[in-house]
Amino acid sequence: MIFTDYQGPFTLAINEVISNFLADLINHSTPLPTYALQIAQLSISSGGLGFYNPNTRALPDLANNYITSRRHVLQGIRTHRDLPLRQLDPALGELFTLESNPTSVFLQRIHSVIPNLASHACPPTTPRESCSQYFLDVLSPTSYKSRLKKKANILHLYTLYNTFYNDNPDDIHLLPSILSPTTSYPLVGMNRSINTTIVSMEQNVN
């Protein structure tokens, strides 16, 4: 399974909230088609609206929390840039290894998705056989978050094209013109400026 394919009750609920919000926003009485939600969740740079996508964020965010906690336990916590790392009790490290907790369902699940995430997060110069360990121990959060975000957007775009073609094969030629960053950026920017203006007006009234 590719990390962007994850679905669960929580991701379904979030997608339903977003879809209902968009339908109410445009006074659409029936549920929006799947491709409409996918367009809304596509990045602004690709012509979408940049809405939160729980499916592409769930596993990377889970892995990030695990990696951050694991590194703090194994390597220490930096409390100040001029001070040495503050070391924690080594016994805590056993909580993060399958060798010490072979029956842990959480560790089994997180380690089952790490190889897939690592293959997209690590730079191409990293040997494939050591990619997972490099991802866990060395790769900076900024670096792997950026690569995973770019990969997720590419995969999301592929999914959007497939969904749109399956639902509207005769209109697939229109999709590239719909996905226009030159339209998305002003639209999103205008919405943000409206919100800022409303807040400013409310503050002046108060």
Q: What is the DSSP string of 176-194?
A: HHHS-HHHHHHHHHHHHHH
Q: Which residue has the tokens 């336990």?
A: 73
Whether 167 has a pLDDT exceeding 90, the answer reads yes
- One domain, residues 177 and 131: no
Whether 77 contacts 85, CB under 8 Å: yes
Give the model's pLDDT for residue 41: 96
Give the model's pLDDT for residue 204: 53
Tell me the mean pLDDT in the region 78-86: 88
Tokens of 185: 């950026």
Tell me the mean pLDDT in the region 13-24: 94
- For residue 68, give its domain range: 56-146
Selection from 137, 105, 98 nearest residue 121 by Cα: 137
Question: Of the residues 146, 161, 190, which one is the last residue of a structural domain?
Answer: 146
Judge whether 135 lies within some domain: yes
Mean model confidence pLDDT for the chain? 89
- One domain, residues 63 and 49: no
Q: How confident is the model at residue 198 (pLDDT cuts 50, 70, 90)?
A: very low
Judge whether 181 lies within some domain: yes
Judge whether 206 lies within some domain: no
- One domain, residues 89 and 69: yes
Judge whether 73 lies within some domain: yes
- One domain, residues 76 and 129: yes
Give the model's pLDDT for residue 192: 67
- One domain, residues 38 and 61: no
Give the model's pLDDT for residue 200: 53
Give the model's pLDDT for residue 199: 47
Whether 201 has a pLDDT exceeding 50, the answer reads no
Cα(174)–Cα(168) distance, rounded to whole angstroms? 10
Give the model's pLDDT for residue 196: 54
Length of the chain (residues): 206
Number of structural domains (the chain) is 2
Whether 66 contacts 110, CB under 8 Å: yes
Q: Angle at which helices 54-75 and 105-121 pack, to 10 degrees?
A: 100
- One domain, residues 165 and 140: no
Question: Of the residues 126, 146, 166, which one is the last residue of a structural domain?
Answer: 146
> What is the CB neighbour count within 10 angstroms for residue 72?
16
- One domain, residues 108 and 177: no
Cα(87)–Cα(79) distance, rounded to whole angstroms? 11
pTM of the model: 0.83
Whether 175 has a pLDDT exceeding 80, the answer reads yes
11-20, 49-58, 63-72, 183-192: lowest mean pLDDT where? 183-192
Whether 80 has a pLDDT exceeding 60, the answer reads yes
Judge whether 49 lies within some domain: yes
Judge whether 104 lies within some domain: yes
Judge whether 118 lies within some domain: yes
